[in-house]
C-alpha cells in the first residue's frame, strides 16, 4: 500500500476549502505528503542510531552537519494506550494548548489563521546559554486519512500535524535579537483498536496510539555542537513524554474521538 499510496490526493481530500485556495497550498501538499511518506518508511536504510529508549519510546538520530552546523534528523516512535491519533494531533495543532505542554517556548503568536486546518505561527524559544536566542516562523497543517473499516497497522489511516518553516515578510529573519531557526516537523498518530472490542462499545483500554515524530531543526547560526546535541538529547524525550502525558490527562474523562 505504502509505495502506491497517493498521499497528495488523500491530503487534498481532507483539506478545508480555505486551505486549498491559499497560495501556500501546493507547498503544504508537497511537504506534508513527503513527511508522511518518510515517517511511515521505518528505519530500514540510512544510518539511524538509537539514542534514547524509555519503555515504548525510542528515539533515533542521524549525525548530519551543514556548513558546520548540527542539523541531526530525529525520528522517534512511541505507543501510548488510551488515546487516539486524532486526539494526539488535536492538542499538538491547536494553539490554545501550546503553553501547557511546550517547554521550550517563550512566546507564541498566531500570525494568520489561514483556515481551521492551517495556521501561521511566529514563536520565540527559550535561550540556551551561551548561544543566542532563537525564533521561528512556520505554517502548521492538520490532516488525516480516514479508514473507518480497517484501523490496523498497515491501513493508511492516520492523523498528522506538519510544521514547516516559511519566510514571512512581516517577520524577517534576524530582525530582532533572535537568530532564526528552520524546522520541518511531523507528528503522526495511528489508532489501533484491540480486536477484543469487536461488537461492543470501545473503551479507552481498547485503543493504542502508534506515534511517529520526526524533526529536522537547523539552528540557523552559530551554536556549539556539543551544546546542541546535549540540548536535543534532553529536550526531545522530555517533549514526547510530557506531551503524551498531557493528552492522556486531557482526554481521560472525555468520549473517545476516533
Ligand atoms: O515540535 C515541537 N514543538 C512545536 C510547537 O512549538 C514546533 C516547534 C519546534 C521548535 C523546536 C526548536 C526549538 C529550539 C529552541 C531552543 C531550545 C530551548 C530549550 C530550552 C529548554 C529550557 O514544531 C516540540 C519540540 C521539542 C523540543 C525540541 C528541541 C530541539 C532542539 C534543537 C536545537 C535547536 C537549536 C538551538 C540553538 C541554540
Beta carbon of 137 within 6 Å of any ligand 1 atom: no
* Rounded-to-integer distance, Cα 132 and Cα 181, Å: 11
pLDDT at 102: 98
Q: What is the pLDDT of residue 222?
A: 87
Q: Which band of pLDDT confidence, cut at 50, 70 and 90, is reported for residue 119?
A: very high
Residue 189 near residue 148, CB atoms below 8 Å: no
Give every CB contact of residue 21 below 8 A, 6+ residues apart in sequence.
none
- Note the pLDDT tens digit of each residue in 19-69: 999 999 999 999 999 999 999 988 876 689 999 999 999 999 999 999 989
**What pLDDT does residue 2 have?**
53
Contact 24, 139 (CB under 8 A): yes
Q: Who's near 178: CB < 8 A, 6+ residues apart?
A: 124, 132, 133, 134, 135
- Binding site membership of 170 for ligand 1 (Cβ less than 6 Å): no
Whose CA is closest to atom 7 on ligand 1?
A: 163
Calculate the alpha carbon distances from 221 to 26, 66, 178 in Å: 29, 11, 10
Nearest residue (by CA) to ligand 1, atom 6, is 102
> Crossing angle, helix 85-93 and helix 225-251, to 10 degrees?
120
Please write the tens of the pLDDT for every residue from 78-107: 999 999 999 999 999 999 999 999 999 999
DSSP string, 138-179: EEEEEEEE--SS--STTS--EEEEEEEE---TTS-TTSSSSE
d(CA 132, CA 170): 21
Which residue has a Cα nearest atom 24 of ligand 1? 239
pLDDT confidence of residue 174:
83
Query: What does the longest C-alpha to C-alpha distance in the chain come to?
Result: 59
- At 156-210, the pLDDT tens digits run 789 999 999 999 999 999 877 899 999 999 999 999 999 998 889 999 999 999 9
Is pLDDT at 3 greater than 70 in this prediction?
Answer: no
Is the CB–ligand 1 distance for residue 223 below 6 Å? yes
Contact 7, 36 (CB under 8 A): yes
Question: Distance between CA atoms of 83 and 208, rounded to whole angstroms?
Answer: 6
C-alpha–C-alpha distance, residues 211 and 204, integer Å: 16
Distance CA 158, CA 68 (A): 36
| DSSP-assigned letter for residue 83 | -
102 by Cβ neighbours in 10 Å (0-12 / 13-18 / 19+) ranks as middle
pLDDT band for 148, please (50, 70, 90 cuts): low
Q: Provide the pLDDT for residue 10.
A: 93
| Ligand 1 contacts CB of residue 185 (under 6 A) | yes
Cα angle 132-93-213, degrees, rounded to a multiple of 5: 70
What band does 4 get if pLDDT is binned at 50, 70 and 90?
confident
Decide whether any atom of ligand 1 lies within 6 Å of the 106 Cβ: no
Contact between residue 212 and residue 170 where contact means Cβ atoms under 8 Å apart = no
Task: Determine whether the shortest distance from the Cβ of 57 to ligand 1 is under 6 A.
Answer: no
Q: By alpha-carbon position, which residue is closest to atom 19 of ligand 1? A: 104
Summarize pLDDT for 228-252 with one digit per residue, the tens.
Answer: 999 999 999 999 999 999 999 999 9
Quick check: pTM over 0.90? yes
Per-residue model confidence as pLDDT tens digits over 215-232: 999 999 988 999 999 999
pLDDT greater than 70 at residue 153: no
Report d(CA 142, CA 97) in Å as an integer: 15
Amino acid at each position: 500500500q505504502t509505495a502506491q499510496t497517493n498521499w497528495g490526493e488523500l491530503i487534498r481530500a481532507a483539506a478545508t476549502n480555505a486551505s486549498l485556495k491559499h497560495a501556500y497550498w501546493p507547498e503544504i501538499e508537497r511537504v506534508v505528503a513527503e513527511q508522511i511518506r518518510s515517517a511511515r518508511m521505518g528505519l530500514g536504510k540510512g544510518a539511524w542510531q538509537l539514542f534514547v529508549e524509555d519503555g515504548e519510546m525510542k528515539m533515533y538520530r542521524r549525525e548530519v552537519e551543514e556548513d558546520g552546523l548540527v542539523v541531526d534528523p530525529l525520528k522517534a516512535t512511541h505507543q501510548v494506550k488510551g488515546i487516539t491519533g486524532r486526539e494526539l494531533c488535536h492538542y499538538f495543532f491547536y494553539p490554545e494548548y501550546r503553553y501547557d505542554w511546550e517547554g521550550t517556548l517563550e512566546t507564541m503568536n498566531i500570525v494568520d489563521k489561514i483556515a481551521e486546518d492551517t495556521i501561521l505561527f511566529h514563536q520565540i524559544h527559550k535561550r540556551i546559554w551561551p548561544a543566542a536566542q532563537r525564533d521561528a516562523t512556520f505554517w502548521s497543517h492538520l490532516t488525516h486519512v480516514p479508514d473507518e473499516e480497517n484501523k490496523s497497522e498497515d491501513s493508511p489511516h492516520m492523523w498528522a500535524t506538519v510544521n514547516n518553516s516559511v519566510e514571512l515578510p512581516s517577520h524577517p529573519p534576524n530582525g530582532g535579537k533572535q537568530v532564526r531557526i528552520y524546522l520541518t516537523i511531523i507528528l503522526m498518530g495511528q489508532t489501533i483498536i484491540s480486536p477484543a472490542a469487536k461488537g461492543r462499545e470501545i473503551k479507552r483500554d481498547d485503543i493504542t496510539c502508534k506515534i511517529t515524530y520526526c524533526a529536522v531543526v537547523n539552528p540557523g547560526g552559530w551554536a556549539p555542537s556539543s551544546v546542541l546535541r546535549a540540548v536535543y538529547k534532553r529536550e526531545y524525550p522530555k517533549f514526547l513524554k510530557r506531551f503524551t502525558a498531557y493528552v492522556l490527562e486531557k482526554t481521560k474523562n472525555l468520549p473517545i474521538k476516533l
